[in-house]
A and B are shown apart, each in its own frame.
Chain A
């Protein structure tokens, strides 16, 4: 059984109450139609449920979520996957600023572009390693203050070097992979280009394959492509900036 919810003119509070009640009652497949700006969809939800969002949701989609799969047929607003703990968000469109903000587990896939500060403050702990995969491009401060996890930027259709300023500013854990070359002037304080060995290639390969499965791309050229791998130059990038020892 698929539960369909018509979100026309519905405020996010009653909408999210309906979604939560359905999940509590054991619903595993929910489709929300005519979404327009409703925030906090699937926030804090746990369990095995697939939620399809048809429309343009508001900010903080899937915040604190642990387990569900959310598919968005439209453009997402700011911070989808904010502090997400587990599960998958698949966005058939673009997303706003601070995508995957403070994410600590699970995977976010965006077919098109994302805004500024993608992957800001992502983190990891033991087996929890969040991943953000973006098919298009990203704006400045990608991976800002990253503490863990993986950001993978596929830049489909882009051929020149990546020239957005402030990449991985203050990064102290995790990795940013960007297809193609990166202008060295765009690396921020604390960020460093690291070698891409076979082990690392093997690490991003399943993410590429999963992305291509969702969005109907051919994985072969993306698997074979060159990537710039960026990581932390040290565990304390601002040691000399904010403290005096």
Chain B
């Protein structure tokens, strides 16, 4: 199970989090109260040029100075503060969520076309693997992930999600199956500009993890979805594949379908399957990936998880259930079920 819903306003208009809270809570049955979360793009306009690092601290007194020191080696902390939270009867503060607005010093990373991003990626992996009691779970510019182990409505109230405004929202309600529910294991998963929500399981996790770790990424969150965020970062950011090609690598057409394609298309699909065999994801999944330019939803190629898309004016919605979309927007221009393995893309103009 698990429930997902996402929306992009293609004109870039921002929406507060109140409606997506209602929509995600409508799918409470898809979760188990052990993980829920929201990601919003455009939430920090006053620090739009800084990387917003969200960190779960187990202990502010002992752990935080290690993170502060590490960040100061690699750049400047423009501002940092505890993320405002509001405990309720069903959700107590297990970790302290903190946010840094961080400006990396690009001159410190040589030999790469994207030094700032590589510094931030390095810092995320470094903190998560070497500073016990600290976990960076959100690291993009003008992006915030807000998640915890709880029901959708309790997590939303904990962060007062209605106080944030974004032009893209992703929301996820977790039903943990293969690993236990915990704060870091709630979705969305984020790295830099990328955020991922996922319903299902990546049964090829072992292969995918070995592949992605050979490029320097480190999986630290005890759940399969994390690997999707890193695969997308590798394919789309580092290797420059567009959304269609990245989805094709992750959920490729069947061999018999490739055999039946015209020559040029066949060669291209063969090349993708051969180059990215270890990035191919097996198992049941419905996934939405976002970056600052839009959202992209797709399911596994034999459609073992639900995925519904809808449009109303500038807004494109992707969700597990039509009812959740109609909870946000009762009258829709168009509702459809995307084909298995085919991406639905909503770009900000």
Contact = CB atoms under 8 A, between A and B. Distances in A.
Q: Note whether A and B form a binding pair.
A: yes
Interface of A: 12, 36-37, 39, 56-59, 75, 77-78, 94, 96-97, 113, 115-117, 139-141, 165-166, 185
Interface in B24-59: 26-27, 29
B321 interface: yes
A36 B303 contact: no
Nearest to B305: A97
Contacts, number: 55
Nearest to B325: A56
Given A36-B26, A37-B327, A96-B337, A139 B303 contact: yes
B131 interface: no
Which 6 A/B pairs are nearest by Cβ-Cβ distance? Answer: A37-B323, A116-B303, A56-B323, A37-B26, A36-B323, A115-B337
Contacts of A12: 29
Contacts of B29: 12, 39, 58
B324 interface: yes
B20 to A, nearest CB: 15
Given A36-B26, A75-B335, A96-B337, A115 B303 contact: yes
A139 B337 contact: yes
A56 B330 CA distance: 10
A185 to B, nearest CB: 8
A230 to B, nearest CB: 19
Interface in B320-349: 321-324, 326-327, 335, 337, 339-340
B326 A36 contact: yes
B322 A56 contact: yes
A37 B324 contact: yes
B327 A36 contact: yes
Contacts of B303: 97, 115-117, 139-140
Nearest to B260: A185
B340 A58 contact: no
Interface of B: 26-27, 29, 254, 256-257, 260, 302-303, 306, 308, 321-324, 326-327, 335, 337, 339-340
Contacts of A78: 306
Nearest to A39: B29
Given A37-B324, A141-B302, 10 more contacts: A58-B321, A59-B321, A75-B335, A77-B322, A94-B335, A96-B306, A97-B306, A165-B257, A166-B302, A185-B256
A241 B339 CA distance: 29
A91 B19 CA distance: 28
Nearest to A38: B323
B335 A77 contact: no
Contacts of A94: 335, 337
B323 A116 contact: no
A139 B256 CA distance: 18
Given A37-B26, A115-B303, A140-B302, A75 B322 contact: yes
Contacts of A75: 322, 335
A58 B324 CA distance: 10
Nearest to A98: B306
A113 B302 CA distance: 18
Contacts of B306: 77-78, 96-97, 115
A75 B335 CA distance: 10
16 contacts: A36-B26, A37-B321, A37-B324, A39-B29, A56-B326, A57-B323, A58-B323, A75-B322, A75-B335, A113-B337, A116-B340, A139-B340, A140-B302, A140-B340, A185-B256, A185-B260
A195 B286 CA distance: 39
B340 A77 contact: no
A226 B256 CA distance: 29
A75 B326 CA distance: 11
A115 B302 CA distance: 12
Q: Which of A37, A56, A75, A113: most chain B CB closer than 10 A?
A: A37
Contacts of A165: 254, 257
A78 B306 CA distance: 8
Contacts of A115: 303, 306, 337
B210 to A, nearest CB: 30
A240 to B, nearest CB: 20
Contacts of B327: 36-37
B27 to A, nearest CB: 7
Nearest to B337: A115
Nearest to A35: B323
B323 to A, nearest CB: 3
A58 to B, nearest CB: 6
A117 B284 CA distance: 14
A39 B306 CA distance: 15
A94 B310 CA distance: 14
A77 B27 CA distance: 12
Nearest to B327: A36
B177 to A, nearest CB: 18
B323 A139 contact: no
A77 B323 contact: yes
Contacts of A117: 303
B260 to A, nearest CB: 8
B349 to A, nearest CB: 29
